[in-house]
Amino acid sequence: MGTLRDAAADAGVRVGAAVDADSLRTDTDYRRTLSSEFDAVVAENAMKWGRLSDGEGCYDFTDADDIVAFANRNDMYVRGHTLVWHRMYPDWLRPWSRSEASARRTLRTHVQTVAGRYRGRVDAWDVVNEAVADDGGLRETQWLASLGPEYLDRAFEWADDVSDADLFYNDYGADGLSAKSDAVYDLVSEMVARDVPIDGVGLQLHVFDETVPPADVAANVERLTELGLTVHVTELDVGIGEAVVDADEQADYYRDVVSAAVDAGAEAVVTWGVDDGQSWLPARGWGEAPLLFDERFRRKPAYHGVADALSK
């Protein structure tokens, strides 16, 4: 049997995983699995503002640089994640008491410092992450409070000024058909109408309490692509527990949802981690063994479900 990377190449899509920088440096099995099975990477945390900067104007790009260098050596597509988010920002930004001018300058400097550093080496950026609240309105964040709704447009414009990457809006809970996915659709369609330089939408697709019907995922992908936007599944994981009861049901769901997304036009499928031992879901009580490889990097039924979806 070939690899996921082989199957994805045959299908004309990317298949990737979120990467932990420490594991990448220290675990040979992790590196081998990542480079042989996947052709795309995203930094799990290493490119988030709070991990990059411990003082205003001070950046440590060591972890992010290591991930990008590994990907470039292994001919892998790189998704940058994320430039603007309401969480994991550095302590020096707290407490939030900035004027509009200060907030604009601070955010623009960060977006352009990070995106500009990786020009030509990062293929896509999640420019803004999770700006829509669960009720469908814009999330109350420091950026909305200081700059108003225009901060989204400005972030994309600032990134576009310094980067040649495709620029994405990324969110959770907007994967199928729901009030939130409608709100995300409205948000990005209005950005397209305003000629904001947005190229795509990332659908996270974390599955742990209930499954998202694959047909709804397909319908959502189709309507987003009809706007002229690229769609990536960006953070896929399926915890065994409430959503699926065992490894076989997990494999069936992976097969069905990946097949539906790719058939509808999604151009990349990225799991949120490489192996079960690195997943964030079990520690939160959100399901067990959610990824394609177990803790010993052995292929699981879920792996074969994705391989089947890409090989049909």
Alpha-carbon distance of 229 to 300, in angstroms, equals 33
Residues in the chain: 312
Distances (CA, A) of 47 to 61, 64, 275: 8, 6, 20
Decide: 128 and 84 in contact? Cβ < 8 Å.
yes
130 catalytic? Reply is: yes
Alpha-carbon distance of 239 to 250, in angstroms, equals 8
Q: From the candidates 222, 235, 249, 288, which is the catalytic residue?
A: 235
The label of the residue with tokens 């225009």 reads 150
- What is the rounded (10 degree) CA torsion for 178, 183, 184, 186? 120
Rg of the chain on CA atoms, in Å: 19
Angle between helices 214-225 and 179-193 (to 10 degrees): 10
Helix, strand and coil content of the chain, in percent to the nearest 5, comes to: 45, 20, 35
For 90, phi and psi rounded to 5 degrees? -70, 160
Three-state secondary-structure class, residue 78: strand
Three-state secondary-structure class, residue 233: strand
235 catalytic? Reply is: yes
Q: From the candidates 37, 44, 56, 130, which is the catalytic residue?
A: 130
* DSSP-assigned letters across all residues of 145-209: HHH-THHHHHHHHHHHHH--SEEEEEESS-SSSSHHHHHHHHHHHHHHHTT----EEEE--EESS
Alpha-carbon distance of 284 to 282, in angstroms, equals 5
Catalytic residues: 130, 235
